[in-house]
């Protein structure tokens, strides 16, 4: 599962700059360092967002580029809505500047929290939400930092 975000991020980096359009953003404060990322869509309509329905579960995977990379995975039981709390949430950040540069940080120990303001899956789709988590370095699990952020993006859906 960790391989998929890396492939998406590699694809986004390798794509021509003119072929990408920002459809939303993710902003976060990681121990008082302000970080920003753009959720992108290519000219062919493919986006750095994937929505998957498997039985009673709906999974939304967001990937964004900017101050490094960020991947956020949200899992819902049944039909998701703004009133439904996620059944699962993971956050991985790879900041590329400041004191956090080069460290892959992930939510492993303590579950992240999310407050959804808007979640629309019809048409283009959209999500607006606040999140917070404790992210620990993958290579040094005892080095953990608080993160608080905001997602405001189209989901890039065409259905």
Length of the chain: 159
pLDDT at 28 over 60: yes
- Cα–Cα distance for residue pair 71/81, rounded to 1 Å: 21
Is the distance from CB of 52 to CB of 74 less than 8 angstroms?
Answer: no
Mean pLDDT of the chain: 82
Mean pLDDT calculated for residue range 48-62: 91
pLDDT at site 27:
96
Residue 11's φ and ψ, nearest 5 degrees, are: -60, -45
User: What are 72-104's pLDDT values in tens digits?
Assistant: 999 999 778 778 889 999 999 987 765 666 778
Is the distance from CB of 94 to CB of 104 less than 8 angstroms?
Answer: yes
pLDDT at site 159:
46
- Strand ranges inside 1-82, DSSP E: 20-30, 33-42, 49-54, 57-66, 68-77
Lowest mean pLDDT among 7-11, 22-26, 119-123: 7-11
Domain range list for the chain: 3-13+20-154
pLDDT at site 18:
53
């Amino acid at each position: 599962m960790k391989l998929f975000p890396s492939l998406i991020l590699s694809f986004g980096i390798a794509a021509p700059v003119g072929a990408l359009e920002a459809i939303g953003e993710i902003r976060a404060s990681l121990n008082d360092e302000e970080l920003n990322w753009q959720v992108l869509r290519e000219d062919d309509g493919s986006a750095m967002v994937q929505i998957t329905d498997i039985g009673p579960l709906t999974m939304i995977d967001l990937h964004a580029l900017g101050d490094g990379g960020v991947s956020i995975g949200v899992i819902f039981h049944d039909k998701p809505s703004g009133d439904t709390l996620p059944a699962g949430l993971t956050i991985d950040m790879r900041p590329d500047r400041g004191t956090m540069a080069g460290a892959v940080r992930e939510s492993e120990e303590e579950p992240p929290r999310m407050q959804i303001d808007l979640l629309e899956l019809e048409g283009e789709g959209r999500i607006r939400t606040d999140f917070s988590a404790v992210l620990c370095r993958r290579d040094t699990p005892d080095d953990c930092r608080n993160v608080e952020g905001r997602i405001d993006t189209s989901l890039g859906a065409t259905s």
